[in-house]
Amino acid sequence: QLILFLFQNPMKKTKDLIGNAGATFVNAFTVTPLCCPSRSSILTGQYPHNHGVRNNSLSGNCSSPQWQKGPESQAFPVFLSKLEYQTFFAGKYLNQYGQKDAGHVGHIPPGWDHWHALVGNSQYYNYSLSVNGKEEKHGDNYGDDYLTDLITNRSLTFLDNRSPQLPFFLLLSPPAPHAPWTAAPQHQKDYADIKAPRDGSFDKPGKDKHWLLRQPANPMTASSLTYLDNAYRKRWQTLASVDDMVEKLVEKLKSIDELNNTYIFYTSDNGYHTGQFSLPIDKRQLYEFDIRVPLLVRGPGIAPNQTVEAPVLNIDLAPTILDICGFNVSLAPSLRNGTARPFFLVEHTGEGHLTSDPSCPSLGPGLSQCFPDCVCEDAYNNTYACVRTLDSSQNLQYCEFADSESFVEMYDLKSDPHQLENIVKKVDPSVLQVMNQRLIKLQSCQGQSCRGIQCGLFFQPKICFHTLPTTVIICNAHTVISIA
């Protein structure tokens, strides 16, 4: 439902050109609902506890020297370059990329031939790029500087100038729909009457949930609702430019006679809540609205108008891309036999400030991301790990918090799809024990021990699919093995 609603208005062309022309994955998840750790998982195919990126800060290993020397040096673009792929990146990379203590703009992650990376977090105007290791400053002129369109235009130029004798790979990472939600001039009046949907868990009290879900005012205040609706509308307006991007890319691929040879992935690095459980905006929570992501894929051998229900994760993308592009990846036998993963991990390390937020002094220190009416979205002890099962017989989520309460939440999403009731005190203790043991296994897995519980079921046996940050991934495959 979340994915279908996302495409109801702002992404009509994307749904038509990718989803309707290929496969729509209705159960795609991120393994962590936060930008930098999630993007690091996409690049490496690893859970956060293995690549070591905990949050969006440099101290949390986001684009740190430690990350650069370790996981980044083994990310999937490195292997594409060994296959002589022409690789192109444009847009937001990792939140701390380009900072002085992160190698500055001169650092180009290995594997990329053409590099146009945003310095720092999402912006639409007044930003700097690292263009092949050189700083390029941008102002506020729409034609020259609007980042979503700049990414589009430079990708089209790359496709025109590439060597037709070699395959290519593009990863395009526009800022939309991230704050500050600056729409292009032609889209600033779009969706004037749109408001956040008032269904499911919208404005419901966070009863029997972790304390961070119990602290927002309920019902939501008028100021919080106004703030939320404005943000929701602006997010749609910024996404309209991403929809335009997809259309232009598909048209370009068709004009250079490569569309039928190219795989296109569309996805996001995390979900987003918009008033659920009275939380105005953000991510970082363990619930469906924050961990589900859109995933559309089209390409050679993929029949149109498919809906895939088997769960897939963002850690599946790297091995999938490598497999598509001809790299000999050792996949789990369950993939070859077309068997879905039985369960998977979602984990998050909370962030906070040592001092109280001036707008929320009554809540004390240790919180962050505080929005209107003193609703805080994260905290040091919003640190959790969840095991999720999703198959024909079960749809369960079990989560443990690393806090002074050792708080536990459990949901049966077959009977309670909006996760309104925490059933941890009602469920059979033997079920809790099984879920706890699964969680322990996932939290301690490394390397090959993660493999058998990692890659899932896809529209064709053999391929392990993957997701990305409100991102378009283009993998040209005109010289590699078809999956048909």
Which residues are known to be catalytic? Answer: 35
Residue 314's alpha-carbon distances to 69, 118, 186, 387, 431, in angstroms, are 22, 22, 33, 15, 27
- Cα atoms in the Cβ-side hemisphere of radius 13 Å centred on 176: 28
Size of the chain in residues: 484
Q: Which residue in 112, 102, 113, 133 sits closest to 36, CA to CA? A: 102
**CB neighbours of residue 246 within 10 Å:** 22
Q: Which residue in 156, 148, 147, 164 sits closest to 251, CA to CA? A: 156
Task: Calculate the CA dihedral of residues 292, 293, 294, 298 and round it to 10 degrees.
Answer: -110
Rg of the chain's alpha carbons, rounded to an integer? 21
List the beta bridge partners of residue 471.
267
Query: What is the distance of C-alpha 78 from the center of its chain?
Result: 21
Q: Are 140 and 125 in contact (CB under 8 A)?
A: yes
Reported as type and span, the H/E element at residue 49 is helix 48-51
Residue 472 contacts by C-beta under 8 Å, 6 or more apart in sequence? 170, 172, 174, 242, 245, 246, 249, 264, 265, 266
Scan for tokens 């703009």, then name that residue. 105
**CB neighbours of residue 403 within 10 Å:** 17
